[in-house]
Amino acid sequence: MTLAAAGRSVDAMKIAVLGSGTVGEVLADGFRKHGHDVVRGSRDPSKLAAWAQQSGGRTATFADASADADVVVLAVKGSAAGEALGLAGDLTGKVIIDATNPIADAPPQDGVLRFFTNLDESLMERLQAQVPGARFVKAFSCVGNAFMVNPSLPGGPPTMFICGNDADAKAVVRSILDQFGWDTADMGTATAARAIEPLCMLWCIPGLRGSGWSHAFKLLRG
């Protein structure tokens, strides 16, 4: 069911952002900036106390944050994503924005991150298989947190590559990305996450090799 079908404006969605790190904070602040009703979720909500006090935002456990959400944003460490979903309660029918990457604990090699997946399977495919009733959309995984919300770069709006199996869910995410100042390129089904997730590796190389982190990808269409 789309949000429009539910009679709710896409400008006033209920958003659960799962994760107590910087990515979760940036995205939660971005959703709040654009007028959404946001709850940040954590396995241990006390980790979010400073953010709640500073921002006036609400916090909860993974399950309580997700319970009434239209959209759940998965913004945890990739290796913890499956466990986080397991603690999030019934996610059937919910739009899940998957902002994770399967970054391994091993150090980068020559500026190239190591993944715990291979080229024939993405982390998002694993997560979709774990929660088949949820509607996963890959987004926010190919850029650093400083540019996730309304990025300002000399080349104009950068491109966010998304994918997922549900067209209505991708339409919801596209509307969010429009608000957040992104050009959106839909790469197809969840299988395309096999190509999108490694963009994280490419995005990180300049920073890890000392050339800076102020960049994003842009798809030029002919």
Say if residue 136's pLDDT is above 50: yes
pLDDT tens column, 177-193: 999 999 999 999 999 99
Residue 53 lies in a domain: yes
Confidence of residue 12 (pLDDT cuts 50, 70, 90): confident
Residue 215 lies in a domain: no
Q: Is this model's pTM higher than 0.85 or not?
A: yes
25-41 mean pLDDT: 97
Note the pLDDT of residue 24.
98
Say if residue 151's pLDDT is above 60: yes
Count of domains for the chain: 1
Note the pLDDT of residue 7.
38
Say if residue 52's pLDDT is above 60: yes
Say if residue 1's pLDDT is above 50: no
Residue 52 lies in a domain: yes
Confidence of residue 9 (pLDDT cuts 50, 70, 90): very low
Residue 219 lies in a domain: no
63-69 mean pLDDT: 98
Note the pLDDT of residue 8.
40
Confidence of residue 118 (pLDDT cuts 50, 70, 90): very high
Say if residue 2's pLDDT is above 70: no
199-205 mean pLDDT: 98
Residue 170 lies in a domain: yes
Residue 221 lies in a domain: no
CATH number at residue 95: 3.40.50.720
Say if residue 87's pLDDT is above 80: yes
Say if residue 10's pLDDT is above 80: no
Residue 82 lies in a domain: yes
Domain residues for 23? Answer: 10-208
Residue 4 lies in a domain: no
109 burial class (0-12, 13-18, 19+ CB within 10 angstroms)? exposed
Q: What mean pLDDT is reported for the chain?
A: 95
